Amino acid sequence: MKSPRKWFVSFNYAFLTITGILMLLPFVNILAGSFSGGTAIVKGQVTVFPVDFTLANYISVLNNAAIWKSIGVTVYITIFGTLLNLIFTSLMAYGLARKELQGRSFFILLILFTMIFPAPLIPSYLVIKSLGMLNTLWALIIPGLVSAFNLIIMISFFQALPEGLLEAAKIDGCNDYRTLWSVALPLSLPSLTTIGLFYAVGHWNGYFSAIMYLRDPGLYPMQVKLRQLIVESDAANVMQSVQMTMQSVEGIKMATIIVATLPVLLIYPMIQKHFIKGAMLGSVKG
């Protein structure tokens, strides 16, 4: 007979498995619809397997030059923006993690204040406008250069580093920048991977800032194009380029969703090990 603990563990596994399947089903349905014919989608015949298998939806999406351009903009913002995020977050976190920094508690309090009371929309827009960043990609990068949440994670990680290593680096003649580069950052790979993924996903999925600050359609990232297809029913413009019928509108939307989601799904398994270590930071104290 199973012990109560084993029953509890079995129940947890069954519950989480069912929950995971239920959360995965909508994505599987969209994936199946992206490979299905327009008539089958409209009639609601698509569930978890494609009906009237076709690649026409993906062909229509990938043949659209505007979508390719938006993908390029998104990749640029994600790579360049995440790099700047990691640089400035690491520099700021390392300084705030040092106990000898005067006013350290005050600065951390200000950071926590921004987490509780974020800047309102209109003042943020006026600041972006006064800095001349309207209708530029800088408006999608600079305002979120340092995330308060990610900064707290990095501060916690730097504080957990052995003081002896940092003191040994200083004895060897390293200044603060050399200590950060040669000692602190190599030991902080799990934390950097975690916040790097947070930043990258935020850049990849961001669309609100682009809607607010950009007016040139040529600067629109992928998520804005996806929003135009789904919310503004702009899929007809895509279909006209390949002379498809109106029954393929939903299929084009689903194919665009998969194209926008696939890169994140492919990258995550590569960094999953480091991500889990960073996400569990502070849960177990050595």
Q: Encode pLDDT of 217-231 as tens digits.
A: 888 998 888 877 776
Instruction: Yes or no: say if 141 and 214 are a contact pair by the CB < 8 Å rule.
Output: no
Asked if the structure places residue 141 within a domain, the reply is: yes
Residue 279's pLDDT band, with cuts at 50, 70 and 90, is low
Within a domain: residue 32? no
In a domain, 3, yes or no: no
Quickly state the pLDDT bin for 83 (edges 50, 70, 90): very high
The confidence score (pLDDT) of residue 233 equals: 55
283: confidence class by pLDDT, cuts 50, 70, 90: very low
User: Between 44 and 30, whose confidence is greater?
Assistant: 30
What average pLDDT does this structure show over 49-77?
87
Q: Does 209 map to a domain?
A: yes
**Residue 185, domain extent:** 58-279
Q: How confident is the model at residue 176 (pLDDT cuts 50, 70, 90)?
A: confident
Q: Give a yes or no: residue 11 inside a domain.
A: no
Global pTM?
A: 0.78
Judge whether 120 and 128 are in contact, CB under 8 Å. no
Q: What is the CATH number of the domain that holds 221?
A: 1.10.3720.10
Domain count, the chain: 1
Question: For residue 24, is it within any domain?
Answer: no
60 neighbors 250 (Cβ within 8 angstroms): no
Q: What is the mean pLDDT of the chain?
A: 82
Residue 1 lies in a domain: no
pLDDT at 286 over 50: no
Percent of the chain with pLDDT over 90: 20
Count Cα atoms within 13 angstroms, Cβ side, for 56. Answer: 22
> Is 83 inside a domain boundary?
yes
